[in-house]
Amino acid sequence: MKPLSILLAALAVALSACATSGDATAGAPDAAHSSRNALDWAGTYEGMLPCADCPGIKTRLTLRQDGSYEISRVYIDRNPKPFVEQGRFAWLPGGNAVKLEGQGGSQRFAVGEGRLALLDPDAAPAWPPSPRYVLTHVTTQEVPDVKRTLESHRWTLSSATDAGGKPIAALSANRSRPIVFHFGGGRLGIEGGCNRSFGGYQIDAEGRLVVNRMASTMMACDPALMKIDDELATLLAASMKIEVTQGETPTLRLADAKSGTLAFTGQLTPEARYGTPARVFLEVAPQTVACNNPLTGATSCLQVREIAFDNKGLRIDPPGAWRALHENIEGYSHQAGVRNVLRLKRFQDKAGASIYVLDMVVESETVKR
pLDDT of residue 194: 87
- Is the whole model's pTM more than 0.75, yes or no? no
User: What is the per-residue pLDDT for 350?
Assistant: 84
User: Which architecture does CATH list for 4-138?
Assistant: Beta Barrel (2.40)
Residue 7: predicted pLDDT: 38
pLDDT number for residue 123: 52
Q: Give the burial class of 77: count Cβ atoms within 10 A of its Cβ; 0-12 exposed, 13-18 middle, 19 or more buried.
A: exposed
Map residue 245 onto helix, strand or coil. strand
Q: How far apart are CA 39 and CA 122, in angstroms?
A: 27
Q: What end-to-end distance do the CA atoms of the chain give, in Å?
A: 71
For the chain, 369 residues long, give each residue's pLDDT as a single digit of tens.
444 344 334 444 444 444 433 344 344 444 557 888 888 888 888 888 888 778 888 888 888 877 888 888 888 877 667 777 878 899 988 888 898 986 556 788 889 888 899 987 665 455 555 666 899 887 655 444 788 889 999 999 998 988 888 899 888 866 677 899 999 888 999 988 888 888 899 887 677 888 888 888 888 888 888 889 889 998 998 888 888 887 778 899 998 888 889 999 999 998 988 999 999 999 999 999 999 888 888 899 999 999 998 888 888 999 999 999 999 998 888 999 999 999 999 999 888 889 999 988 888 999 876
What is the number of residues in the chain? Answer: 369
**What is the reported pLDDT for 243?**
86
For residue 214, the model assigns a pLDDT of: 82
Instruction: Tell me which residue of 260, 263, 43, 254 sits closest to 140, measured CA to CA.
Output: 43
Instruction: Report the candidate in 284, 277, 266, 267 with the shortest Cα–Cα distance to residue 323.
Output: 284
User: 33-44 b/e with 16+ CB inside 10 Å = b?
Assistant: bbbbebbebebb
Query: CA 350, 245, 196 angle in degrees (round to 5)?
Result: 75
In the prediction, which pLDDT does 163 show?
84
> Domain limits of the chain?
4-138, 146-268, 274-366
DSSP symbols for 185-200? TTEEEEESSSS-EEEE
| pLDDT given at position 94 | 86
Specify the pLDDT at position 286: 95
State whether CATH 2.40.128.270 applies to domain 146-268: yes
Q: Is 242 helix (H, G, I), strand (E, B) or coil?
A: strand
Which pLDDT score, from 0 to 100, does residue 4 have? 36
CA-CA distance, 26 to 38, in Å (whole number)?
19
